[in-house]
A = this chain, B = another copy of it.
Amino acid sequence: MLSKKTKYAINALVYLARHADEQPIPVSRIAEERKIPLKFLESIFSELKNARIVKSKKGKYGGYSLNGGTDDIDLAQVVRLFDGAIALLPCATHDYYEPCEECLDETACGIRKVALEIRNATVASLKEATLANILAREQNLTR
């Protein structure tokens, strides 16, 4: 399960993508419209900015905007940023790799093979899910 933080982040980014014309948008507006606790969302945007997924404009009439096009931001980036590794097992991740303690031969481990299979499929789906792709899915009700 995704954490609330990740869910909030995704919702906020989709909101930014949907209002790409009127940016920058203040956090307060997103917090209100999407019913997300303001201070919590502020800290989320702080992390999104550090990760260069959004950029900010300070002061009055400031706010956040997407850093890059809606095609450049996908859910794999966001999930990794807030929830860490995507795989079910540390031995099946690329970025957060750790071997299992009692694994004699990792390349022969059946459990790991399942985990790798699932990880590959999940990452592929999450990478395909760019903000543009999510918006397109919402238009296209025939699914």
Query: Contacts of A1 on B, CB cut-off 8 Å?
Result: 84-85, 87-90
Stretch at the interface among A40-48, A51-59, A117-125: A117-125
Query: Contacts of A27 on B, CB cut-off 8 Å?
Result: none
Copies of this polypeptide in the complex = 2
Query: Contacts of A85 on B, CB cut-off 8 Å?
Result: 1
Are B118's CB and A134's CB within 8 A?
no
In the complex, residue of chain B having the shortest beta-carbon distance to the beta carbon of A112? B137
Residues of A in contact with B (beta carbons under 8 Å apart) = 1-2, 7, 10-11, 14, 34-35, 75, 84-85, 87-90, 101-102, 107-111, 113-114, 117-118, 121-122, 125-126, 129, 133-138, 141, 143
